[in-house]
Chains A and B, each alone.
Chain A
Amino acid sequence: MYLYLYDSFLNSSKHTKMLARVEMRLTDLGIGGKIARLSPLKNIRELIKDEVKNGVKTVVAVGNDKTVIQIVNDIAEHAVTLGIIPVGKNNKIAAALGISGTDEACPILSARKLEKIDLGKANNTYFLSDIFVPKSNVTLLCENRYEIRPEKGEFEVFICNIKPDHVTEDYVFSPKDGMLEAVINPTNTVPASFLRRARQGEKKTTIVPFKKLLIKSRTPQEIITDGNKILKTPVEVSIVPKKLKIIVGKERIF
């Protein structure tokens, strides 16, 4: 049984025709199901909990990356499969999973090729894509064995599971490798000598794969998850391997 969660931006009339077409296609493929519309007033956690009790095995996020990220924490608690129908812009997660567009998503859902992917966990919050530590002087204690700190000044850190859009580094991030990656960028307070060195071909970004990491700082520091939840240091980040069962396309990047 399928539950389709429509993001609130799909209430706009410009999406009506497209949604009708998608619903018809899903019915033709025999994978029609219950439709629920997300809104700030609706408790998604309770909604998913009730529907899982009623026999829902697959929850499909209809919308963009924000829609997916919004429901990941609630889905992770249940033994259900996640599907995605990308609509509009900002669909990097769907693209990474090999779901290139709204129309392509229907046959992919029907084919039901499943992958179990890792989720990151920051304290008690799951994240699918990344968490962000804004420019600060935090220390990263990796695997309880070694510490990473800025040599001079401050740095900003992205902790990634799937490569987020704003991380420009050409590095292959896989949500199936059982590791998270800390991507550390020096901030603009870096002396000019660094920039000269960078021009000489030196890689200035630090990338460290890890399974467990503690972010600590002298004063409480804000850390932002992909779902825009704000945590305060100290934050323990870990990987939960194969936590999420997800429907993928053939063109996935991992």
Chain B
Amino acid sequence: MTTVLNKSYNNHTIIRKKYTMFKKDDLSYEDNVETIIGPSVQVEGDFNAAGDVIVEGVVSGSLKTEKNLKVGQNAKIYANVVAGSAHVSGEIHGNIKVDGSLELTSTAKIYGDIKTDTLAIASGACFHGKCASGEEKKRATSRKNDGKKSEETDEKES
């Protein structure tokens, strides 16, 4: 948590705090957390959030956020996950698609395919599935483009 503002009224100082999603060491995000799914609840269905999400409970169906996702150590997700970036310490049964970086900590358990731009897996993490990283994709597409260009130049020369 980071204190963002101090204000005083009625002779009481009220300290407004906002949650920070990740520690500075983890990732460089410090956005407001908009949704927290605590350990006492179960969410079922198409969960679609616009802001940051922390999951500590159980989610089944599908989970989508445009921003950051943090999956706690005791969280269980039985869903396909789409996120802007993710930090996973819990269990995910489903495919994961992350636009930015995906970090799996030592307690993470992933049973599904991963598609991400940047991937970091800590030792001890469990991962069963296929993995595709963004750079590989770019290289593949650039190779294809290079191939096409060379074919075009060959045709012109002939």
Give the docked Cα–Cα distance between A185 and B40 (Å). Answer: 8
Contact B57–A100 (Cβ < 8 Å): no
In chain A, positions 186-234 with a C-beta closer than 8 Å to chain B are 186, 190, 194, 197-198, 202-209
7 CB-based A-B contacts, threshold 8 Å: A146-B61, A150-B40, A171-B33, A172-B16, A190-B40, A202-B73, A206-B36
Known pairs A145-B45, A147-B45, A209-B34; A170 contacts B1 (CB<8 A): yes
Contact A186–B42 (Cβ < 8 Å): no
Contact A202–B39 (Cβ < 8 Å): yes
Determine, out of B46-54, B129-137, B150-158, the stretch whose residues face the partner at the interface. Answer: B46-54
Contact B36–A100 (Cβ < 8 Å): no
Contact with B along A14-40 (1 / 0, CB 8 A): 000000000000000000000000000
Contact A208–B35 (Cβ < 8 Å): yes
A residues with a Cβ closer than 8 A to B are: 91, 95, 98, 100-101, 143, 145-153, 155, 170-172, 184-186, 190, 194, 197-198, 202-209, 251, 253
B contact residues around A155 at 8 Å (CB): 40-41
Q: Which residue of B lies closest to A205 (CB)?
A: B38
Contact B41–A206 (Cβ < 8 Å): yes
Give the docked Cα–Cα distance between A205 and B41 (Å). Answer: 9
A contact residues around B49 at 8 Å (CB): 209
Most buried by A among B10, B39, B57: B39
Contact B42–A204 (Cβ < 8 Å): no
Contact B42–A151 (Cβ < 8 Å): yes
B residues with a Cβ closer than 8 A to A are: 1, 7, 9-10, 14, 16-19, 32-49, 51, 54, 56-58, 61, 72-74
Main secondary structure of the interface of B (DSSP, over half): strand
Give the docked Cα–Cα distance between A76 and B7 (Å). Answer: 29
Contact B39–A148 (Cβ < 8 Å): no
Contact A146–B45 (Cβ < 8 Å): yes
Give the docked Cα–Cα distance between A241 and B96 (Å). Answer: 35
Q: Which residue of A lies closest to B18 (CB)?
A: A172
Contact B57–A151 (Cβ < 8 Å): yes
Known pairs A95-B10, A145-B45, A251-B9; A204 contacts B35 (CB<8 A): no
A contact residues around B74 at 8 Å (CB): 197, 202
Contact A101–B36 (Cβ < 8 Å): no
A contact residues around B43 at 8 Å (CB): 146-148
B contact residues around A149 at 8 Å (CB): 41-42, 44
Contact A194–B40 (Cβ < 8 Å): yes
Chain A nearest CB from B147 CB (Å) reads 44
Chain B nearest CB from A168 CB (Å) reads 12
Extra contacts besides A151-B41, A206-B38 (10): CB < 8 Å: A151-B58, A184-B38, A186-B39, A194-B39, A202-B56, A202-B74, A204-B38, A205-B38, A209-B35, A253-B16
